[in-house]
């Protein structure tokens, strides 16, 4: 499939874009999975869900009826082995209880620094019905599968068509991605057998903040030189501890010892940068934070606060050291 862009005096063919890793496409679909199902909204509840020693479901979602949707992404063309893989994943997901789904969802939401109370509350809010309108027993009665690959393999199409004829809820989606100067374009075809049953396109605006790096983080704060220097010292401290900086959509996550340690993102007005600190904080610790830091908010994963000055950073490093040592001692 070729995509052209009008540029004032003529069309220019866009260059195909190859995602370096599957997780790059996962990052986009995590934010907006509706590209996959057309007009049907689905609610992502977890990502990289473990189902074995080394096997993980790329994305796990729920539909309006509470059915689980297993989404498997392939950076290149899917092979016949991918069909066996997604069937195996669906069989494993079928064994999940409501409590299992809620646990996975809670860990994922809290790991992102997002509020999570219960899976019932999340589902009712997302699909717009009154809480209590569904019972826990209604969830995961059926498993749906979505296989997404770059391009089409005819053998996979034949298998997908056969499985649907015998009642397996498997959707095979082929996608193509293109790079424009300021955006990523994605075109998809939802395919059964050799027939295209639905086609959709989505545009993802691509800006430096989409995948936040240390460089783009600091660039956001250049208009505030004092805060820019504080942020540089913060990153220098983190890297001196041996932590790994992991770019995420609009934030940077820092891990140490294989576990989440902190997350951070800058304010657009360069007045502060926000820290999500992972760890166990007692009421006394939180009271101390409120006395020494700005806009402190207790979270399920730990505590969030703003860094606005050198004094804030000096106190925050004491917190970071305590949580870092706790992680490394475990």
Do 184 and 243 have their domain in common? Answer: no
The pLDDT tens digits of the residues spanning 166-190 come to 888 888 887 666 555 555 555 555 5
Are 100 and 64 within 8 A, CB to CB?
no
Q: Which of 205, 239, 258 is the last residue of a domain?
A: 205
70 lies in the same domain as 148: yes
**CATH number, residue 16:** 3.40.1350.10
Q: What is the pTM of this model?
A: 0.54
The pLDDT tens digits for 75-96 are 766 777 889 999 999 999 999 9
239 and 324 share a domain?
yes
Higher per-residue confidence, 96 vs 323? 96
Domain containing 239 — which CATH number?
Answer: 3.90.1150
Mean pLDDT in the chain? 81
Q: For residue 208, what pLDDT is reported?
A: 38
Closest alpha carbon to 51 in 83, 102, 88, 82: 88
Whether residues 11 and 106 fall in one domain: yes
28 and 63 in a single domain? The answer is: yes
Are 77 and 152 spatial neighbours (Cβ–Cβ below 8 Å)? yes
Residues 25 and 113 in one domain: yes
Q: Which residues of 17-51 are buried (b: 16+ CB within 10 A; e: fewer)?
A: bebeebebbbbbbbeebebbbeeeebbbbbbebeb
Q: Do both 11 and 58 map to the same domain?
A: yes
| 172 shares a domain with 99 | yes
Same domain? 163 vs 195: yes
Q: Are residues 193 and 269 in the same domain?
A: no
The number of CA neighbours under 13 Å toward the Cβ of 79 is 2
- Which range of residues forms the domain containing residue 268? 214-329
| pLDDT range class, residue 203, cuts 50, 70, 90 | very low
Same-domain check for residues 189 and 219: no
């Amino acid at each position: 499939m070729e995509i052209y862009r009008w540029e004032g005096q003529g069309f220019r063919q866009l260059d195909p874009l190859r995602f370096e890793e599957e997780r790059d496409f996962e990052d986009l679909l995590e934010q907006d999975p509706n590209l996959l199902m057309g007009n049907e909204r689905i609610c992502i509840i977890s990502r990289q869900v473990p189902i074995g020693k080394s096997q993980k479901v790329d994305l796990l979602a729920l539909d309006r009826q509470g059915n689980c949707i297993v989404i498997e992404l392939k950076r290149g063309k899917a092979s016949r082995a991918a069909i066996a893989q997604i069937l195996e994943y669906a069989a494993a997901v079928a064994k999940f209880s409501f409590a299992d789904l809620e646990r996975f969802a809670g860990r994922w939401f809290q790991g992102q620094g997002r509020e999570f109370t219960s899976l019932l509350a999340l589902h009712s809010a997302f699909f717009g019905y009154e809480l209590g309108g569904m019972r826990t027993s209604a969830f995961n009665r059926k498993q749906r599968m979505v296989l997404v690959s770059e391009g089409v393999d005819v053998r996979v199409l034949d298998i997908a068509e056969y499985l649907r004829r015998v009642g397996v809820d498997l959707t095979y989606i082929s996608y193509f991605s293109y790079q424009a100067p300021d955006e990523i374009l994605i075109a998809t075809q939802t395919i059964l057998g050799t027939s295209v049953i639905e086609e959709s396109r989505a545009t993802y605006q691509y800006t430096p903040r989409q995948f936040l790096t240390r460089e783009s983080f600091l660039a956001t704060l250049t208009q505030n030189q004092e805060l820019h220097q504080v942020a540089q010292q913060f990153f220098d401290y983190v890297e001196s501890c041996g932590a790994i900086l992991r770019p995420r959509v609009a934030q940077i996550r820092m891990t140490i010892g294989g576990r989440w340690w902190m997350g951070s993102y800058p304010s657009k007005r360069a007045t502060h940068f926000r820290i999500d600190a992972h760890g166990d904080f007692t009421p006394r610790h939180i009271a101390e934070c409120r006395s020494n830091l700005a806009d402190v908010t207790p979270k399920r994963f730990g505590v969030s606060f703003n860094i606005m000055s050198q004094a804030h950073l000096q106190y925050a490093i004491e917190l970071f050291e305590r949580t870092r040592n706790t992680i490394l001692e475990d």
